[in-house]
Structures are given as C-alpha cells and as structure tokens.
Structure 1
C-alpha cells in the first residue's frame, strides 16, 4: 500500500504541470481558431464590398446608357404632345412625406394616355435600377455622388402621377424609397451650404455702434 500511495503521489505531482501544459495548448488552439475566423470574416467582408462596388459601377453605367435615353424620350413626348398635367399639378414634400393636388382638367388627364408607353418603360427601368440600392446589393452612397441630381430631378417632374399611383399600392416602391433618401440628403447638403455661406457673410460684417456722451465715464 505505501508503494501504491507513493506512485499515486508521483502521478499527482506530475499531472499538475501536465494539465497546465494541456490547458495552455488548448488556449493557444482557441486563439488560433479565433484569428482564423476573424480573418475569414474580413475576407468575406472585403469580397462583399468588392462585389457591391462592381454592381454599383454597373448600375451607374446602365443608368447613363439606358435610363437617361428613356427619360429623354418620355419628356420629349410630354412636350411634343403638350401634356400639361404635370406642370398644372402641385406637389408638396414635407417631413419625408409626399402629397399632391392633381390637375383636375379632364383634357389633360386624357392626354396622359398619349405617354403611357414611354412612362411605363422609363419607370420600369428606374425601378429595376433602384432595387439594387434599396436592397443593399449596390452602394447607394457611392451612386449618390454620380447620379442623385438627375435621378431626383426626373422623379420630381413625374411625382404628380407617381404619388397617386403608388399611394397604398405596391408600385415603384424602390424608386420612391430611393428618391426620398436622395432628395432628403440633397436638401440637407443644400441647407448646409446655405448655412456656411450665411455664417461667412456674418463674419465679414463690420458691426459699428455709437456710444452716447458720458457712457464711458
């Protein structure tokens, strides 16, 4: 029995450092595995960003080569057919909400039928374009710098017809969503520029006062 006890004590003392070594190796493996996971995540993130930039570039190019010509054809048809429905309607954009007072002239409403084909073709293309950005597949912040002005300008002109068409309906939802995002951002940037210009003018103003006699006494 004493011999067995001695062996057990030796095993006990030996097992202590061994367990420490095993624990250290296990922690090292965990650390390596964590680093590998983080590296994989970073690789995935970079790949996703690269794909997003590629899709963004493709869609911006498509906007210039395909959508702008469709818009031009639509606005040309509106002008040639003397469709005044859009200019005779009133649109209000406030608090991220759209509202319109549509033109009530029956003749102008009937004239809308003359531009149906061009209108549908333009809006379908713009909807297909917009869904890439509202879904997050493409980077709308990058595209914003290139085409937000022409995009918002075109949609703004068509709002008298788009607002009643999309109110409560599942039509051109991505286009309208992207319009509101970009329109709001453009408005904010414009106000910030006006604020900066105003502050600069205020700094340049030389304010003079006339003190009454005896006020320094």
Structure 2
C-alpha cells in the first residue's frame, strides 16, 4: 500500500510540469494558427483588392470618360459651375441652379451619372468596410478616383444628405487627405533642399 502511495505521489509531482508543458505547446499552436489565419486573410484581401482595381479599370474608367465627354458637350452648370470646398474633413458645395430649368442637369447625363455613381459606390464599399486594402488601391487609383468624385461632388453631397449613403465620400476624404499630405511633404522637402543649397552672403563694414 505504501508503495502505491509513493507511485501516486510521484505521478502527482510530475503532473505539474507536464500540464505546464502541454499548456505551452497549446499556446504555441494557437499562435501559429492565428498567424496562418492572419496570412490567409491578408492574401484574400490583396486578391480582392486586385480584383476591384481591375474592375475599376475595365468598368469605371470608361464611365468616367463618357461622363467627361458628355460634360464638354452639354450645358451642365450643376456640375461645372457649382463650387466645391473641402475643409476639416468635410465637403461643402455652393450649388448653381438654373432657374429656368426643372432639372438639375440635362437628361442626357442621367444614365451615365447613375451608372457611374452606382459603380463607384460598389467599389468604395469594399474599401471603407475594410474587406479590401485601400492603401494598395490608392497607389494605383487614388488620383483618378479623387478627380472623378470631386466633379460629382455636387450630386454626391446631395445624395448623402438625403439618404445617408456616403461610402464614396468617405473613401474620397481618406484618399484626398493622404494626397494633400503627400503634396505638402513634397513641397516641404523641396523647400528644405532649396534652403540647404542657398548661401548667405554679407559684406563687412569698412574698418570693422
């Protein structure tokens, strides 16, 4: 009986380190699993980002071109003469309205504008929701996206006020502010370079 108690005591003493070892291995496995999940999520995000960038190039850019060409051909003062101002992460529009017209803009633009805004909304939603990587997309499409949204701003702001659908404007503000910061840094670096290259020249007073 005493021998059995001693054996049980030995097993009891050994169980502590064994449980610690098992727990350590389990935590290590959890960490590996999390890293794998993180890597897989990142890969899926980049795949989706590439898909959306391709969608933009194939579908949205032709709509942007059609919109710009139509703007040059028709009298659409609602877009061309409304004033858009961006400050403090807000977009403000001073609207131009033609008192003699019952429409905001010529009907010829209706289908193009509707298709363009719907496409931009679908595109933006992937990035504002965090499903796709907006930083990667910005490098490829930030400039053209911001230019297009700024032209559409009079209508987009009006839609956002009425329906609270602002995912296009949300992505626009992120990318617009980033671009403004990049331009400011570029100007700052150019100014610093100019200062460093400049030489201060002075003339000593005679007799000094």
The TM-score with structure 2 as length reference comes to 0.91
Which of 18, 35, 42 is the aligned partner of 1:25?
A: 18
Alignment check: 8 A CA contact 1:52 1:137 kept: yes
Aligned to 1:146: 140
Aligned to 2:205: 212
Q: RMSD between aligned alpha carbons?
A: 2.0
Matched, 1:158 2:165: no
Q: Partners in 2 of 1:140 and 1:183 — Cα distance? A: 13
SS at match of 2:103: helix
Q: Partners in 2 of 1:136 and 1:92 — Cα distance? A: 27
Matched, 1:74 2:70: no
1:135 Cα deviation (Å)?
0.6
SS at match of 2:31: helix
Q: Partners in 2 of 1:169 and 1:113 — Cα distance? A: 23
Change (3 A) 1:142 1:88: same
Aligned to 2:124: 130
Superposed CA deviations along residues 82-137 of structure 1, whole A, max 9, x for unmatched, are 22322211111011111111113325773614211111110000000110001111
Alignment check: 8 A CA contact 1:102 1:160 kept: yes
Structure having the higher Rg: 1
Q: Partners in 2 of 1:66 and 1:100 — Cα distance? A: 28
Structure 2 unmatched runs, 5+: none
1:21 Cα deviation (Å)?
1.4
Alignment check: 8 A CA contact 1:83 1:108 kept: no
Number of aligned residue pairs: 207
The TM-score with structure 1 as length reference comes to 0.88
Which of 79, 84, 88 is the aligned partner of 2:77?
A: 84
Aligned to 2:32: 39
